[in-house]
Structure 1
Amino acid sequence: MFKRLAFAFALLSSTATAALAFETQAQAAWVYDLTTQTVLMDKNADVPRPPASMSKLMTLNLLFEALRDGRYSKDTTFGVSEKAWRMGGSKMFVKPDDRPTVEELIHGIIINSGNDACVVVAEGMDGSEDEFAKTMTARAQALGMTHAHFANSSGWPDPAQVMSASDLGLLAVRLITEFPEYYPYFAMTTYSYKDRVPANSQNRNPLLKIEGGDWKADGLKTGHTEEAGYGLVGSAVQSGGRRIVFVIMGLPTDKARAEEAERIANWAFREFSMKTLAKAGTRIAEADVFLGDAPKVGLVPAQDIERLLPAAAVNGMTAEVVYKGPIMAPVTAGTPIAELVVHIPEMAEARIPLVAETDVPKGGFVKQLSTAAQVLIKRFLPADAAAS
């Protein structure tokens, strides 16, 4: 049967006040601590919304995959169709007689948010933008972006073009972790293809302009249409290496987007910190052992238990040890036999494996006979008689 043992950490404080709540004016938001794989905020994060130019991240993902697979190189050139040339909105200003390289198109998509560059990539890779949009949708679904559907490569307004905040966050995490060789492009602020791009067509990510402080932003993509409002897929890292990824959607102005992005980054870094709950090898609890030469075995973490917790307080945090027992002897030290389940207010529970602290050999004949007798007594005698 499953057994549960309540447990309290020494760092709990009865007078602490948790500092988790964060009110955002974004219509949808998702904040993720990439270092600890912890969701810090989820506001309407699974609601499909128009992603505007933030959907260009999926176009880049397909292009990065093609580069990694060797289908193209950064020096590969694509032709420019009349459709690409005539695209409105943000542009990298390619012309029909141009042959931009893949690397130039990456710059044009990330820094200039070029709708024309996206069409060039789509047509170069799949022959038409419609076919490329189908590939985008299928690949997004395969990667777990269950709310994503694409009608075009750029985020041009279309009722069929939707992504959720969690979709965009998952995509951002993938771009950061799967393509570290290309991620530095997202921190670049200026690019002008053949000196055609005006100054106001440079990288619109407001966090890239922030200097000093205890964190530094280095990606990823803004988006704006009248229907979508103002949005941002962002990422920032502290000097110690802790990284967050966040998505905000549906802000009313670019000023509101900039202010909300900075507020969220400050909150994520300053209101949460890493705490060591227990050192490796520290006995957390004991589990009952059946037919062993000892009645119990210590339960310890194999590694230090570190979790991201509210920096100001951890009031209300509880924990329990769960295992299926009693544990049948023999028990080998280091074998996972239980879980420590940590419940943190307003955050997902954490489940940490616990292992046997020591070996517990099978008991000898006398021990086994004694145990069997006790089992028979408990099974066949009334409870009050067994206890007397």
Structure 2
Amino acid sequence: MIRTFIAIVAVIATALPISAFETTATSAYVIDQTTGTVLLSKEAEIPLPPASMSKLMTLYMAFEALRRGKADGGLDLNEMLPVSEHAQSYGGSSMFLRSGEEVSVEDLVRGIVVQSGNDACVVIAEALSPDGTEYGFSRLMTQRAQEMGMEHSTFTNSNGWPQTGHRMSMKDLAILADRLITDFPEYYPLFAETEFAFDNRVPSNRLNRNPVLSMGIGADGLKTGHTQEAGYGLVGSAKQGDRRVIFVISGLETSAQRAQESQSIVNWAFRQFTMRKLASEGQQFTTAEVWMGSEPAVGLVAKEDVSVLMPALAATQFQGEVIYKGPLSAPIAKGDTLAELVFTLDGLPETRVPLVADRDIGPGGFVSRVTTAAMILLNKVIQGPAEAS
């Protein structure tokens, strides 16, 4: 493994440390979705009661079913689904559905997003469950979550009603939020809706409980949660310019505290960090030796424009290293990934950028091969049998 240390220059102001965010949440996770950089992690992998935030998993599976379509065992937005007695039996946040009536999938989805309807979740769950029960659907939720890399999530119902064993970590909720935004851009705008007066049944329950939607900070989702056991929590996302931040908090004592903490986290994430262009497509960082090639070396260049997340006030120059397995052997094709540029900034995880060959290097001719073989033989003679082996 060959390591070449280089100085990387970025056009940034001065050198100051990152100001860490001291959250009052018992568990929190903040990620810059644009780069995948984790900005804050506090007890983020501990499975906790997620309350209504776990409704996001029901919505994700509903969106998957909508994409499949009714013909393939999924759903249709205009499809009417029956309300069971079990669905009506739930208290708490509700669409106030009545047993025996039928409601469209579109209304149910909006009722979950805006009104946080426990009953609406059950109607969706029973329609998609392999055995027609909410519990059957919850087992399907757990299985799907594991497939999505959510390692600390177990579901026993569809809506987050307090129940033994119903748990999610804040990191898992962030993974889920990221997938909702990325996988379903056609449905994600629903999370920014501030009002949905289903059938005008209970006008006081028509407003979205998400406090960040009206703060003017670029927030456009996703879901609040609250139970006595879980405290006040929120899965949120905000977009400013080309950057999007996802944050998850839990364990706040009041709704006002949840709102203030959410606003503070978003402001911190956008002000303390910024995107900087590190390299342009084709920019060379170093060269690598090529054995038995038509040329002795190849340039290692950026495959595409590279932008990285950095502290807003970071050093003008920092150290990185180019790592590759060498010496490289011909033939090499232009664009082949040959190495990685690796660097770390204080307070941020390691960043790796792939580097590619800047040109084709064909196999060497007779003289090149003889010369290389002679060099190998000479090295073995100099090192001696033990060292050479």
Q: Distance in 1 between matches of 2:317 and 2:227?
A: 42
- 2:76 corresponds to: 73
Q: Distance in 1 between matches of 2:318 and 2:372?
A: 38
1:180 equivalenced with 2:185 (yes/no): yes
- 2:387 corresponds to: none
The question of whether the paired residues in 1 share the 8 Å contact of 2:82 and 2:123 is answered with: yes
Counterpart of 2:187 in structure 1: which amino acid? Y
Secondary structure of the residue that 1:9 maps to in structure 2?
A: strand
Counterpart of 2:79 in structure 1: which amino acid? T
- 1:119 corresponds to: 122
- 2:34 corresponds to: 35
1:102 corresponds, among 96, 102, 105, to 105
1:55 equivalenced with 2:54 (yes/no): yes
Q: Distance in 1 between matches of 2:95 and 2:141?
A: 22
Secondary structure of the residue that 1:379 maps to in structure 2?
A: helix
- 1:106 shift after superposition: 1.1
- 1:282 shift after superposition: 2.0
**Normalising by the residue count of structure 1, what TM-score does the alignment of the two structures yield?**
0.91
Counterpart of 2:300 in structure 1: which amino acid? L
Q: Distance in 2 between matches of 1:46 and 1:140?
A: 14
**Normalising by the residue count of structure 2, what TM-score does the alignment of the two structures yield?**
0.91
Secondary structure of the residue that 2:102 maps to in structure 1?
A: coil
- 1:200 shift after superposition: 5.0
Q: Distance in 2 between matches of 1:39 and 1:74?
A: 36
Aligned length: 378
1:158 equivalenced with 2:158 (yes/no): no
Question: What per-residue deviation string (whole Å, max 9, x for no partner) do you get for residues 115-150 of structure 1?
Answer: 121222222332221212112112212222111111
- 1:386 corresponds to: none
Q: RMSD of the TM alignment (CA)?
A: 2.1
The question of whether the paired residues in 2 share the 8 Å contact of 1:168 and 1:247 is answered with: yes
Mapping for residues 343-382 of structure 1, pairs under 5 Å: 343-381=344-382
Counterpart of 1:305 in structure 2: which amino acid? V
Going from structure 1 to structure 2, the CA distance change for 1:83 and 1:16 (only over 3 Å counts) comes to: same
Secondary structure of the residue that 2:259 maps to in structure 1?
A: helix
The question of whether the paired residues in 1 share the 8 Å contact of 2:126 and 2:137 is answered with: yes
Counterpart of 1:146 in structure 2: which amino acid? E
Going from structure 1 to structure 2, the CA distance change for 1:218 and 1:78 (only over 3 Å counts) comes to: same
Q: Distance in 2 between matches of 1:178 and 1:334?
A: 29
Mapping for residues 248-267 of structure 1, pairs under 5 Å: 248-267=249-268
1:233 equivalenced with 2:235 (yes/no): yes
Going from structure 1 to structure 2, the CA distance change for 1:62 and 1:356 (only over 3 Å counts) comes to: closer
Counterpart of 1:235 in structure 2: which amino acid? S
Question: What per-residue deviation string (whole Å, max 9, x for no partner) do you get for residues 322-361 of structure 1?
Answer: 1111112333333221111122223221221212223344
Counterpart of 1:190 in structure 2: which amino acid? E
The question of whether the paired residues in 1 share the 8 Å contact of 2:292 and 2:364 is answered with: yes
Mapping for residues 226-375 of structure 1, pairs under 5 Å: 226-238=228-240, 240-314=241-315, 317-375=318-376
Counterpart of 2:145 in structure 1: which amino acid? A
The question of whether the paired residues in 1 share the 8 Å contact of 2:60 and 2:180 is answered with: yes
- 1:293 shift after superposition: 4.4
- 2:25 corresponds to: 26
Q: Distance in 1 between matches of 2:243 and 2:142?
A: 31
The question of whether the paired residues in 2 share the 8 Å contact of 1:172 and 1:220 is answered with: yes
Question: What per-residue deviation string (whole Å, max 9, x for no partner) do you get for residues 294-336 of structure 1?
Answer: 4322211121221111111147953110111111233333322
Q: Distance in 2 between matches of 1:48 and 1:288?
A: 49
Secondary structure of the residue that 1:170 maps to in structure 2?
A: helix
The question of whether the paired residues in 1 share the 8 Å contact of 2:221 and 2:235 is answered with: yes
The question of whether the paired residues in 2 share the 8 Å contact of 1:90 and 1:201 is answered with: no
2:90 corresponds, among 87, 108, 127, to 87
Q: Distance in 2 between matches of 1:382 and 1:95?
A: 85
The question of whether the paired residues in 2 share the 8 Å contact of 1:317 and 1:345 is answered with: no
Secondary structure of the residue that 1:57 maps to in structure 2?
A: helix
Going from structure 1 to structure 2, the CA distance change for 1:164 and 1:366 (only over 3 Å counts) comes to: same
The question of whether the paired residues in 2 share the 8 Å contact of 1:49 and 1:162 is answered with: yes
Question: What per-residue deviation string (whole Å, max 9, x for no partner) do you get for residues 230-255 of structure 1?
Answer: 100011111x3421211111111111
Counterpart of 2:3 in structure 1: which amino acid? R
Counterpart of 1:251 in structure 2: which amino acid? L
Going from structure 1 to structure 2, the CA distance change for 1:82 and 1:291 (only over 3 Å counts) comes to: closer
Counterpart of 1:230 in structure 2: which amino acid? Y
The question of whether the paired residues in 2 share the 8 Å contact of 1:18 and 1:315 is answered with: no
Counterpart of 1:22 in structure 2: which amino acid? F
Going from structure 1 to structure 2, the CA distance change for 1:361 and 1:120 (only over 3 Å counts) comes to: closer
Question: What per-residue deviation string (whole Å, max 9, x for no partner) do you get for residues 10-48 of structure 1?
Answer: 228895013252111111111122222222222211110
Question: What per-residue deviation string (whole Å, max 9, x for no partner) do you get for residues 140-192 of structure 1?
Answer: 12222111111111111112110001111111111111112211111111112
Counterpart of 2:297 in structure 1: which amino acid? K
Counterpart of 2:276 in structure 1: which amino acid? K
Going from structure 1 to structure 2, the CA distance change for 1:103 and 1:333 (only over 3 Å counts) comes to: closer
- 1:216 corresponds to: 218
Q: Distance in 1 between matches of 2:175 and 2:340?
A: 28
Counterpart of 2:58 in structure 1: which amino acid? T
Question: What per-residue deviation string (whole Å, max 9, x for no partner) do you get for residues 267-287 of structure 1?
Answer: 111211111112222221111
